[in-house]
Structure 1
Amino acid sequence: MHYHFKVHKETRGYWAECVELEGCVTQGNTLKELQSNMEEALNLYLDEPSGSTFLAPLPNDKLDRSKKLVQVAVDPEIAFAFMVRYHRIKRKMTQKQAAKKLGMSNLYSYQRLERKCNATLAVIAKVKNLFPEFSVDFAF
């Protein structure tokens, strides 16, 4: 999963804003530092607290790279958690309802899916079964 940042040159350094995510901005003294800061800002923006109902927009895959538009990858574990939360909220399900439909023994087990996690193939299959439109490829 990649989002797009517009990079701006300043007198002393750079700053960048995510085109798809309002308020996701960062800065850096060098382009290398800016790149690292864009990744950090993006991951922090998408890593919502458990139980959050905020639904960030998905990346716009129609945006092309240019000198001032840079693709920034989301950490795969955060991308997976974001996509699980995204599809649950789109379906207007509570975490408890999703946990029950996934056959999880307790709510905490489900909540871990909506946090940075390393899901097993068995869990990924259950998520895909519950949310058929969920794309594992999109999360990576």
Structure 2
Amino acid sequence: MTGRPPGARSIDDILADARRRLVRLEPAEAYKEFSVGDGLLVDIRPQAHRAAEGEVPGSLIIERNVLEWRFDPAGQARLPEATGYDVRVIVLCSEGYTSSLAAAALHDLGLLRATDVVGGYRAWRSAGLPTTGAPWPAAPDPTYH
């Protein structure tokens, strides 16, 4: 089959739908909430990306493939930080694409205060906010446009 099946959507459509549900934060806004304890900053990047790009000190490292299980307040695999449906989760990925989809998935669980960082870790680092680890990568991730 070469044509799109009925009901199928493009990733651009899915991303736009996810972002319509979020009140996204600029890096400085996310840092302010995180630094005063008003939100949990959750880095969902794979270990290889964190090793190549660096990390945000104090962020929770929860890779994308287990995020919903760790934050479902009714789930058995939840983290101690998953204290209820009103927890503020600020999701961080490399460039702010995957984090939007992840934050929308947290909305599906009932965590309606979940959001993400516009531009992701790269925008965070470009804004001069605290990071540790590796030097800045040379080029944007070609996965995204």
TM-score by length of 2: 0.26
TM-score by length of 1: 0.26
Larger helix proportion of the pair: 1
Q: Which has the higher contact order (CA 8 A, sep 6+)?
A: 2
Greater radius of gyration (CA) = 1
Larger strand proportion of the pair: 1
